[in-house]
Amino acid sequence: MKILLVSGHRPGHNLCKATGVDEGSLNVELVRSLLPLLSPCAQVGVYPYERDMYQDNKNGCLKVSLKDYRYIFEVHFNAGGGRGTSVQLHSGYRGGISVEQAIVDNVSALGFKKRGDNGIVRRSDLLNMNTALRLGIDYALIEVCFYDSAADLALYRQKRQETAHAIAKGIIDKFGLKAGDADSSSDQTEGRSAVVTGCSFLNVRRTPNGAVLGTVKGGTALKILGTGKDPEEDIWYRVTAGSLTGYVWPKYVR
């Protein structure tokens, strides 16, 4: 399963003078903690940390192809004088909410009170959320806690790793993900010698189904380094052939 993690603002943005903390850095820090927790169980992409996805979306210059993902999870911290945690979903979203309910249950178990309807808030005024709904991609946004609340922020500082684990556990448990689901390097083809067969020339690509780096002739010896998946989830071999290292279509390798 492909998951896109989004940190809500760029580092340094939305500084709270009272606590001296900016929301952008908190968002990025948490996404960085989520990444290694989810990566063994899913193919996890991250929207570039130095970009603001909302701004890019508004300007029509998204840096990631959203359609490649099954689930988008956007991280924010709240402000405005409240306390507590919530996971936000589109008012028009009619799918199940077991993942989001588990996330907010797990986070609130660390001591953050639930906001909204048992921790779930429905809204329809967020651009990224609207875009995901239109594309048919499941999307959730967490407001972890209030970073302008000294009490919430102190609790979060104390339980930062636990918070990341609480979120990851909700996603892993309720999507039914397993460790190894995203592991392509354990493929038994790894390290095997092979030969190009059944074609005159075979394209070697920079990424699975990506740009062509060069071609090798039929009969060329190559070494399979591992595998990778393209956006269609098809598996490609990562190989070295002569001076080229890249991805080839497995059908022409024996």
Amino acid making up residue 25: S
Binding letters toward Zn ion, positions 192-231, x by CB under 5 A: ----------------------------------------
From the CB of 143, what's the least distance to Zn ion, in Å? 7
Query: Based on CB atoms, which residue is closest to Zn ion, 76 or 238?
Result: 76
Stretch near Zn ion under the rule CB under 5 A, chosen from 5-13, 52-60, 165-173, 196-204: 5-13
Q: How many CB atoms lie within 10 A of CB 179?
A: 10
3 state SS of 58: helix
Query: Based on CB atoms, which residue is closest to Zn ion, 8 or 170?
Result: 8
Is residue 8 close enough to count as binding Zn ion by CB under 5 A?
yes
CA-CA distance, 235 to 193, in Å (whole number)? Answer: 18
Is residue 76 close enough to count as binding Zn ion by CB under 5 A?
yes
Query: Based on CB atoms, which residue is closest to Zn ion, 10 or 165?
Result: 10
Contact (Cβ atoms closer than 8 angstroms) between residue 1 and residue 175: yes
From the CB of 243, what's the least distance to Zn ion, in Å? 47
Query: Based on CB atoms, which residue is closest to Zn ion, 76 or 165?
Result: 76
Is residue 24 close enough to count as binding Zn ion by CB under 5 A?
no
Amino acid making up residue 46: V
What burial letters (b/e) apply to 23-52, b meaning 16+ CB within 10 Å? bbbbbbbbbebbbebbeebbbbbbbebebb
Please identify the residue of the shown chain whose CB is closest to the bound Zn ion.
76
Contact (Cβ atoms closer than 8 angstroms) between residue 70 and residue 4: no
Contact positions vs Zn ion (CB under 5 A)? 8, 76
